[in-house]
Structure 1
């Protein structure tokens, strides 16, 4: 019985040592349901939530990038409109003749071409930013955030911007109203884009805090306490060596008894 008891202790100790080596190798306290079934289930749920938040944050970062491209395009158009505004006021100078106004019109046409090119070429992920308006949604996992964009060509056409004429002094008032109304509308769109960027960044900040809290909770459940595990390993080493000595001694005693009985 003593020999069997010594072997049982040795087998148990070796099994514990093997399990401990796995934990040290993975730095995880829980490597299977056998280690802690309830803890594994909770850690798995937390991992799912963490992964969802990480993807949600990536979605919102894409939204921020799109909003910034949208705002930068609006800024470029706004800058051309500012120059058109100056040219329109300049064209109202009474000392300018027809040739002077024609020169101003050529400058205005170049600015209008710049605006058209910005509308057509501003893209994000291969899609036109200004060619169609609407709501673009970015899922966060728990909810969603949206960026509203405008079809800028339609907005400017509604203001008759592309019928801009500086050669006819009777149309200068209409031209000035067109430019200033367009500037006001684009200013409002830029303000909306800026507010959206701020909202997206605030949402990411919340998601990051939640993800960090959940990661800490998961770590407390499944991560290994290295100090405790190392101490346990040392204790198991001592117990293993003792069990081996006991088993060897038991076998020697058994062999001696067999020889005596056989003699």
Structure 2
């Protein structure tokens, strides 16, 4: 004759399974470790993870754009500084008492500033990409579209203004040079203003992506992260249940053996 006590064994098995599940959650700090824990929640959490990662990469992209814009704008400022010095020399060359030697000295100084401008144009680059050699629109993907930064062929612009043709040999030629330099300063200033506005737009886009990333990460955390206080409390309850189920099962087995002995 055989006596069964399946209820106690079933309770013990359920308690042990609950313990294992809670231990896994406590170890990973996640409420959802597989689709079996919460299928719908896992799907939403995965979608949010994808968006968080995309926004993080988009933020890095636009931050690169901000850095490029700053390098571009600083290059323009270097050109503007040299044009300002040329403007000063052009005004000085308009002095009627200057003779050939004085004008030659002014011309030599002017040539050095023109060489500085050419050096800035040739050497201003970001991550190996020259910024002043062509008209271009550089795109930075945000994960939901892109933001563009406009760069300009500055050498072509200055050549169109005849800004490299500086002649201080006479007061009349110095006056003509002054007009060309003034026009070039206005053009470079306009490019600087455009670069500043686009840098601000890129920075604003980066801030928006960062805010979205924080909000989406918080939403994901609410779905998949573990409530440690509640999980610890549930683990304590599961431990007590497991211990009591073990005790009941052992007692039932002893009683079963006693009953079999009596019946035998």
TM-score normalised by structure 1 residue count: 0.97
Q: Does 1:233 align with 2:223?
A: no
1:254 maps to: 256
CA contact 2:94–2:175 (8 Å) conserved in 1: no
Q: How far apart are residue 134 of structure 1 and its match?
A: 1.2
SS of residue matched to 1:137 = strand
CA contact 2:96–2:171 (8 Å) conserved in 1: no
1:180 maps to: 182
2:42 maps to: 40
Residue 153 of structure 2, aligned match among 132, 151, 162: 151
Residue 73 of structure 1, aligned match among 62, 72, 75: 75
Q: How far apart are residue 155 of structure 1 and its match?
A: 0.6
CA contact 2:95–2:171 (8 Å) conserved in 1: no
After superposition, residues 117-196 of structure 1 pair within 5 angstroms as 117-196=119-198
What runs of 5+ residues in structure 2 fail to find an aligned partner? none
Residue 20 of structure 2, aligned match among 18, 40, 43: 18
Residues of 1 paired with 2:250 and 2:142: CA distance?
Answer: 63
Q: How far apart are residue 13 of structure 1 and its match?
A: 0.7
Instruction: Identify which range, 2-11 or 140-149, moves more after superposition.
Output: 2-11
What runs of 5+ residues in structure 1 fail to find an aligned partner? none
Q: How far apart are residue 168 of structure 1 and its match?
A: 3.2
Q: How far apart are residue 2 of structure 1 and its match?
A: 6.2
Instruction: Identify which range, 203-212 or 18-27, moves more after superposition.
Output: 203-212
Q: How far apart are residue 247 of structure 1 and its match?
A: 1.0
Q: Does 1:51 align with 2:43?
A: no
Residues of 2 paired with 1:28 and 1:107: CA distance?
Answer: 70
Output one character per residue of 1:114-160: Cα deviation in whole Å (capped at 9) or x when no partner.
01011111110011111112111111111211111101110111111
Residue 9 of structure 2, aligned match among 3, 7, 10: 7
Instruction: Identify which range, 207-216 or 98-107, moves more after superposition.
Output: 207-216
Output one character per residue of 1:55-94: Cα deviation in whole Å (capped at 9) or x when no partner.
1111100000000000000001100000000000000101
After superposition, residues 75-114 of structure 1 pair within 5 angstroms as 75-114=77-116
Count of equivalent residues:
262
CA contact 2:62–2:142 (8 Å) conserved in 1: yes
After superposition, residues 189-204 of structure 1 pair within 5 angstroms as 189-204=191-206
Residues of 1 paired with 2:252 and 2:4: CA distance?
Answer: 7
1:214 maps to: 216
2:247 maps to: 245
